[in-house]
Amino acid sequence: MAVSRSAHFLNYFSLVKINHTIFSLPFALIGFSLALKTREENFNFRLLLLVLLCVFFARNAAMGFNRYADREFDRKNPRTALREIPNSIIRPTSALIFVILNALLFILTTWFLNPLCFFLSPVALLVVLGYSLTKRFTALSHFFLGMGLALAPIGAYLAVTAHFDILPLIYSFIVIFWVAGFDILYALQDIDFDQSEQLKSLPAFLGKRNALILSALFHLIAVFLVTLAGFTGSFHLLYWLGTILFTLVLSYEHLIVKPRDISRVNLAFATLNGMASVIFACFVIADLVFSH
């Protein structure tokens, strides 16, 4: 029975692709570290734990709702038919309860941060949950996904400082364009299905070649914003080394995904972008700790 319950619990981690937290979490840690440096405060484990819980609960709610909202499309799509809900591993009602529970836990956790985070928590949930419906009416759904993940750096900054500032906002815009760029690559896999089901995405709207060009443009903008953040924050050598590595990883993913060969989309989407976020965050945080 214990093994069965454990397996059932792990099914929910699979449902929300817990490993994909690697996209937003490093930028949340950048926002947190930047806030500590701005306030000239010592490391606060309690605050860090609350920030990590917020990221965890918000992402669980967002991804769970995405799987719940798209369950009928996932059932029809051969690429996604084996996901937990269409494959009857998790019932739709159970998934919805999971979403509601994580949303409530997210709001509760913000209560222990500060009043601003608490009052903004429903807005944050509206953004991260709303993304799941955007593909039904706009090809710009990739930007809505980017907006959801972009809450990580500014949210972590607000958790410490309780006020907005330009530098964490720049990092949020970095996330928007970076995520929109790699989500376009991911959507290349479903062009035919999206068109047949009248779902909207930039690859389905523009075609593979133009979508790849636009994805590269978005990543170029992300690199420009990373550079802008470096000058705005008066960063030093470690930051610029991280910027170079971030740029090289993004460039490589555009070299391996081509209009006539998208076989390495998953490598570009998951592995390379996970590497890009972790490497960049490590260098930014190291610069904040050791160079300032």
Q: Where are the domains of the chain?
A: 15-290
Q: How far is the C-alpha of 16 from the C-alpha of 196, rounded, in Å?
A: 26
Query: What's the pLDDT band for 7 if we cut at 50, 70, 90?
Result: low
Q: How far is the C-alpha of 32 from the C-alpha of 285, rounded, in Å?
A: 9
pLDDT above 50: residue 279 = yes
Phi, psi for residue 261 in degrees, rounded to 5: -150, 100
Tokens of 56: 């965890």
Q: How far is the C-alpha of 241 from the C-alpha of 280, rounded, in Å?
A: 9
Superfamily of domain 15-290 in CATH is UbiA prenyltransferase (1.10.357.140)
The pLDDT of residue 103: 98
**Angle between helix 141-161 and 115-134 (nearest 10):** 170
Q: Which of 39-48, 51-60, 120-129, 202-211 has the lowest mean pLDDT?
A: 39-48
Interval 183-232: pLDDT, tens: 999 999 999 999 999 999 999 999 999 999 999 999 999 999 999 999 99
Query: What's the pLDDT band for 39 if we cut at 50, 70, 90?
Result: confident
Burial class (CB in 10 A: 0-12, 13-18, 19+), 65: buried
| Mean pLDDT, the chain, whole residue set | 94
The pLDDT of residue 268: 86
Q: How far is the C-alpha of 215 from the C-alpha of 157, rounded, in Å?
A: 28
Which of 126, 223, 138, 133 lies closest to 177 in space, CA to CA? 223
pLDDT above 90: residue 58 = yes
Interval 142-171: pLDDT, tens: 999 999 999 999 999 999 999 999 999 999
Q: How far is the C-alpha of 60 from the C-alpha of 20, rounded, in Å?
A: 11
The pLDDT of residue 8: 77
CA torsion sign for 13, 156, 286, 218 is positive
pLDDT above 70: residue 265 = yes
> Percent of the chain beyond pLDDT 90?
86
For 78, 261, 273, the CA distances from 21, given in Å and listed in that order, are 25, 27, 11
For 141, 249, 250, the CA distances from 226, given in Å and listed in that order, are 23, 14, 13
Query: What's the pLDDT band for 176 if we cut at 50, 70, 90?
Result: very high
pLDDT above 70: residue 55 = yes
pLDDT above 70: residue 5 = no
As a whole number, mean pLDDT of residues 10-17 equals: 88
| Close Cβ partners of 70 (under 8 Å, ≥ 6 residues apart) | 80, 132
The pLDDT of residue 10: 85
As a whole number, mean pLDDT of residues 234-241 equals: 97
Query: What's the pLDDT band for 1 if we cut at 50, 70, 90?
Result: very low
Which of 188, 200, 177 lies closest to 79 in space, CA to CA? 188
pLDDT above 70: residue 114 = yes
Q: Supply the Cα-derived Rg of the chain in whole angstroms.
A: 19
Tokens of 218: 């978005």
The pLDDT of residue 17: 87
Q: How far is the C-alpha of 103 from the C-alpha of 155, rounded, in Å?
A: 16
Question: b/e string for 156-192 if b means 16 or more Cβ within 10 A?
Answer: bbbbbbeeeeebbebbbbbbbbbbbbbbbbbbbbbbe
pTM above 0.85, yes or no: yes
For 140, 231, 275, the CA distances from 133, given in Å and listed in that order, are 12, 37, 29
Q: Which of 4-13, 15-24, 199-208 has the lowest mean pLDDT?
A: 4-13
Q: Which residue has the higher pLDDT, 292 or 166?
A: 166
The pLDDT of residue 88: 93
The pLDDT of residue 2: 45
Phi, psi for residue 258 in degrees, rounded to 5: -125, 160
